[in-house]
């Protein structure tokens, strides 16, 4: 049966003494932080003897180091004492000691009970804390605590994978016999922050006469980003046109456009499902 960790011991022998390679001065406190170390203390004959004689006290006042001692109290701690922590000791070796002033670690009776639930970011971190305090949500990231006051979990979610994303479409079928470009989709974005953006566009195009050349053009503002010209082998059979490009835009609104036309006399260009979207690359 697992025992609640940490466990707190206090030297009340009136003199400096050593238990399980840990030396404590009189009235000094030691905290057992792992199940492995707990077993070493439980099975040590000097610990058992001194708990029985009263030279060593278990802070939960259980009297013996058993699984029944399930709660930790801090009655023996005050603002003038130090807590000693084990450093090393892996594989059953000797433990080094680290010391932390109680007033930097325990600010209330329940402080030591919550200590085992805290963590730090790296070995050089000077402040312990809970996950929702130590982690900071970046841009488009949210933290949500699931199962509050129960077996809590921290959900980390990306709220908007695309930055400054906008989408425009015209799904109707448009026809033209013009040899010039006829705009069938033109939309202006909201004010952009400026920087690098990716623009994707697509449409379906055909001609009402086989063998005729038809074309599609995509622009941002007055800059052509793609221009596609091609013959139609089978009349009235739609072909997918499209492309994408990365561009650098200023901080302003910008117009996205798709246009079509035909280049052979007597031809008719038909276009449908015209779509274009833009999103920013990076923050």
pLDDT, residue 4, reads 52
> In terms of C-beta density within 10 A (0-12 exposed, 13-18 middle, 19 or more buried), how is residue 209 classed?
middle
Q: How confident is the model at residue 35 (pLDDT cuts 50, 70, 90)?
A: low
Residue 258 lies inside a defined structural domain of this protein: yes
Domain CATH code at residue 178: 2.60.120.1340
Domain count, the chain: 2
276, 218 Cβ separation under 8 angstroms: yes
pLDDT at 271 over 50: yes
Of 17-31, 35-49, 89-103, 265-279, the poorest mean pLDDT is in 89-103
pLDDT, residue 283, reads 65
Q: Backbone dihedral region of 273: left (phi > 0), alpha (psi from -120 to 50 degrees) or beta?
A: left
Task: Give the model confidence (pLDDT) of 171-220 as tens digits.
Answer: 999 999 888 899 999 999 999 999 999 999 999 999 888 777 888 999 99
Q: Are residues 73 and 174 in the same domain?
A: no
What is the spatial distance between Cα 20 and Cα 84, in angstroms, rounded to a whole number?
Answer: 14
Phi, psi of 134 (to 5 degrees): -85, -25
For residue 229, the SS3 value is strand
Q: Are residues 110 and 169 in the same domain?
A: no
Q: Provide the domain limits for residue 226.
A: 163-280
Residue 132 lies inside a defined structural domain of this protein: no
3-state helix, strand, coil in the chain (%, to 5): 10, 45, 45
What is the spatial distance between Cα 211 and Cα 266, in angstroms, rounded to a whole number?
Answer: 11
Task: Give the model confidence (pLDDT) of 112-139 as tens digits.
Answer: 444 556 677 777 777 777 777 888 888 7
Average pLDDT score over residue span 68-97: 41
Residue 134 lies inside a defined structural domain of this protein: no
Across 154-168, 217-231, 261-275, which has the greatest mean pLDDT? 217-231
> Residue 196: beta bridge partners?
248
Contacts of 228 (CB under 8 A, 6+ apart): 215, 216, 217, 241, 243
Cα 254–258–264 angle (5° rounding)?
A: 145
What is the spatial distance between Cα 41 and Cα 161, in angstroms, rounded to a whole number?
Answer: 52
Residue 156 lies inside a defined structural domain of this protein: no
For residue 37, the SS3 value is helix
Alpha-carbon dihedral 247, 250, 251, 252, rounded to 10 degrees? -90
12, 51 Cβ separation under 8 angstroms: no
Average pLDDT score over residue span 239-253: 94
Mean pLDDT of the chain: 77
Q: Are residues 252 and 169 in the same domain?
A: yes
Residue 144 lies inside a defined structural domain of this protein: no
What is the spatial distance between Cα 8 and Cα 37, in angstroms, rounded to a whole number?
Answer: 12
Last residue of a domain, one of 98, 117, 136: 117
Of 6-15, 56-65, 91-100, 206-215, the poorest mean pLDDT is in 91-100
128, 122 Cβ separation under 8 angstroms: no
Residue 23 lies inside a defined structural domain of this protein: yes
pTM, 2 dp: 0.48
What is the spatial distance between Cα 172 and Cα 184, in angstroms, rounded to a whole number?
Answer: 9
Residue 1 lies inside a defined structural domain of this protein: no
Residue 126 lies inside a defined structural domain of this protein: no
């Amino acid at each position: 049966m697992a025992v609640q960790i940490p466990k707190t011991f206090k030297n009340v022998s009136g003199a400096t003494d050593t238990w399980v390679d840990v030396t404590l001065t009189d009235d000094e406190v030691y905290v057992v932080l792992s199940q492995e170390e707990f077993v070493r203390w439980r099975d040590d004959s000097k610990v058992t003897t001194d708990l029985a004689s009263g030279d060593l006290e278990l802070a939960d006042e259980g009297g013996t180091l058993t699984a029944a001692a399930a709660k930790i109290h801090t009655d023996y701690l005050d603002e003038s004492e130090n807590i000693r922590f084990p450093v090393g000791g892996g594989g059953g070796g000797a433990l080094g000691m680290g010391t932390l002033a109680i007033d930097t670690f325990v600010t209330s009776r329940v402080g030591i009970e919550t200590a085992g639930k805290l963590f730090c970011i790296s070995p050089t971190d000077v402040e312990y804390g809970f996950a929702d305090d130590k982690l900071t949500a970046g841009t488009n990231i949210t933290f949500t605590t699931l199962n509050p006051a129960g077996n809590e979990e921290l959900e980390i979610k990306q709220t908007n994978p695309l930055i400054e994303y906008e989408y425009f479409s015209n799904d109707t079928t448009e026809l033209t016999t013009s040899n010039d470009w006829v705009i069938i989709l033109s939309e202006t974005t909201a004010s952009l922050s400026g920087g690098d953006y990716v623009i994707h566009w697509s449409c379906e195009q055909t001609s009402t006469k086989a063998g005729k050349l038809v074309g599609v053009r995509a622009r941002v503002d007055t800059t052509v980003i793609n221009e596609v010209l091609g013959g139609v082998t089978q009349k009235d059979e739609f072909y997918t046109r499209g492309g994408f490009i990365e561009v650098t835009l200023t901080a302003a609104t910008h117009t996205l456009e798709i246009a079509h036309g035909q280049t052979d006399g007597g031809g008719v260009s038909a276009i449908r499902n015209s779509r274009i979207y833009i999103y920013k690359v990076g923050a």
